[in-house]
Amino acid sequence: MRFIKPGPVDGICRAPASKSEMQRAIAAAALARGRSEILSFSPCADSRAALSAVEALGASLRVLDDRVVIDGGELRPAGSIDCGESGLCLRMFAPIASLFDKEITLTARGSLVNRPVSMVEIALRKAGVQCRSRGGYPPLSVRGPLAGGTITLDGSLSSQPATGFLLALPLVRADSDLVVHDLRSSPYLRLTMAVMAAFGVAVEADFDRNRFSVPGGQAYRPRVFEAEGDWSAASFLLTVGAIAGRVTIKGLNLESPQPDKAIVQVLRNCGAGVSTAPGEVTSSQGSLRAFDFDATDSPDLIPPLSVLACFCQGRSRIQGTDRLLHKESNRAEALCDVLGSMGGRLSADGNFLEITGSKLRGATVSSHQDHRIAMAAAVAGLGSSEGVEIVQAGCVDKSYPAFFDDLEGLRKREGVS
């Protein structure tokens, strides 16, 4: 349990390394023959799940204070991969595991047990891979080898399986075309391709048709890779600045393919003070007004933006809540519960959240064992009248273990102007 006391902020913080980029780089390093180093390692649970996965595939690694050393290429996979609670890990490593002529079972824990894998299972079967799941849910067993050619994939729930296929297909002998129907969160595939290019692998993308041409017979090359700052994590801290004072977040790439950098434009549109400099963003309080935002490609922004909307005058509308059904919780319902308990005025309407600005009071709330709900509750607590007590707040370890320490470090100290 964690209590967040209300109060102003005025501070500087460095964003943690992007866990999305980190997990992709870990996979690419394992597939590269030789030694790679990944700098600015984030020790969050999802990154640790990716490390566990590549060890299970046969890569050797060492975790040092600020980096991970991975010796990859000569892979001899074990019979199972523990994906923890990481949806990306499970959906990304399933196509990679299917490169091998051996049955490999990808297991899940916690909320991941009830998150669907049917879309990757169906696509793998069409590509000649033997698959078995628990009725479309983990555990998922695969046995390759994965064949090339034309592969079709349902992208309506997540782009994560497409990331797995993009990473795996260059190692197939034949050329491949990956066609993703109803693709959501396409910017994450740009992130995937950027990581692949850094490790020497090429993909041609036609985002108008959501078609990806992948030459076969390629080889990943080892390298030293440094992950950029995580815009998903930073969005919570920048929201803190907009509602409670002033915050500068360093380590952010303003040209990043990460879709959650859209937080900068939303903050500007709603009246917050926003300034940028190379590698950093500052947000500060302003006269906040309601906003509309389509979060279909950036659903992880919905929790911080829902908090932001509570402090805006008027009614805000956030589209894309259908993307929240299969996260660590049903996040639309969880946000209505948490923020509603604090006096927020939220309603879920089809694929939208509508939020009318209101004063937030104190409350004891559940994190719903969802890291982004816990962080949203903490940000709301800073701007509330009495603070918030968060039950099971430790779930932030999934993506941002230092979140509460960083949040406390931003708090304005008495006598400091």
Which residues make Cβ contacts (< 8 Å) with residue 206, sequence separation at least 6? 212, 213
Q: Are 388 and 246 in contact (CB under 8 A)?
A: no
CA distance 120 to 114: 15
Select from 351, 302, 296 the least CA-distant residue to 329: 302
Catalytic residue among 230, 260, 300, 406: 300
**Active-site annotation holds for 230:** no
> Among all residues, which ones are annotated catalytic?
300
